[in-house]
Amino acid sequence: MEKEKPDYGCINDGAGRRYRVGVYFLLAGDVKKSAAAFDWFYDQFPDDIGEPVFNLYAALTSYRCGEIKKARKRLLATQLSNLFLLPFLIGQRNTDMAVNLWHPSNHQQESYLLEIEKFLDEPTNAERSWIETELNTQSFMTLKESYIATFAALKEESDINKESPY
């Protein structure tokens, strides 16, 4: 992807290849290369919000590197990218208002978990325990409640200028 900069003036990645590199390195068991790939991504695409699997694997990579503060930040991004993913990983079903929200992307819907099922075996039991602990912290609960309140209001909004969070 870096080779595209001289030709295009930027990285031309409409296919989303940038989301796969760190994930595949972690799946291959190379945590150092995975960490380097995620750091490269955040450096090259600072405004990119990623997608649920990408965010989860970025959090797992940081956690495995012992960078807990970075892992927590990336886990928060995972929570916002799909409210159903983290509870699913710890064996809980989201029974709150998350089902009745406006979802600006199919990645944010519960049905998306079926599309990414093959990626959801990666977290170890220790990582799932860490995820559960984080989900029960005040910062995670407050963020989730604020997100739900905002996107529940957007579902009922008819003014298109108010509907888009972007």
Domains of the chain: 4-163 (1.25.40)
Residue 36 identity: A
pTM equals 0.82
What's the pLDDT at 93?
A: 75
Residue 15 has pLDDT above 60, yes or no: no
Q: What is the pLDDT of residues 96-130, one digit of tens each?
A: 656 666 666 668 777 788 899 999 999 999 999 99
Question: What do you get for the CA distance between the two ends of the chain, in Å?
Answer: 26
Q: What is the pLDDT of residues 23-71, one digit of tens each?
A: 999 999 999 999 999 998 899 888 888 899 999 999 999 999 999 999 9
What is the CB-side half-sphere exposure of residue 129 using CA atoms within 13 A? 3
pLDDT band at 6 (very low <50, low <70, confident <90, very high): low
What's the pLDDT at 29?
A: 96
What's the pLDDT at 154?
A: 75
How far from the centroid of its chain's Cα atoms is residue 9's Cα? 28
Residue 132 identity: E
What would the two tokens of residue 152 be? 């529940």
What's the pLDDT at 92?
A: 86
* More confident of the two residues 144 and 71: 71
If you ran DSSP here, which 8-state letter would residue 19 be given? G
